Amino acid sequence: MSTKEKIYQIIDGLSEEQLNGLLTMLTGYAEIIDEAQDNAFCAKLYEESKDDDDGETVSVEDFAKDLGISIA
């Protein structure tokens, strides 16, 4: 019996209340995975940005001007 079949067999034996609890747990689990992937992506971007740092700074006004934005 495959893993998927075993899971289906377990699910078939659960009550509606148990299924609601399982749904909540699975939704939370999916969000944790998404958040972990997002955190890893952000950490990678941060590390890459440290490598690109040439030590120069730009004022907010000059940055906005370069983007064509008026911040009067």
Specify the number of domains making up the chain: 1
Q: What pLDDT band is residue 35 in, cutting at 50, 70 and 90?
A: confident
Domain that holds residue 60: 3-67
Query: Where does the pLDDT of residue 34 fall: very low under 50, low under 70, confident under 90, or very high at 90 and above?
Result: confident
pLDDT of residue 21: 93
pLDDT 10s digits, 5-15: 999 999 999 99
- CA 24/CA 20 separation, integer angstroms: 6
The answer to whether residue 22 is domain-embedded is yes
Contact between 37 and 44 (Cβ < 8 Å): no
Q: Is residue 72 part of a domain?
A: no
Name 25's Cβ contacts closer than 8 Å, sequence gap at least 6.
none
Q: Which long-range contacts does 3-9 make (Cβ < 8 Å, 24+ apart)?
A: none
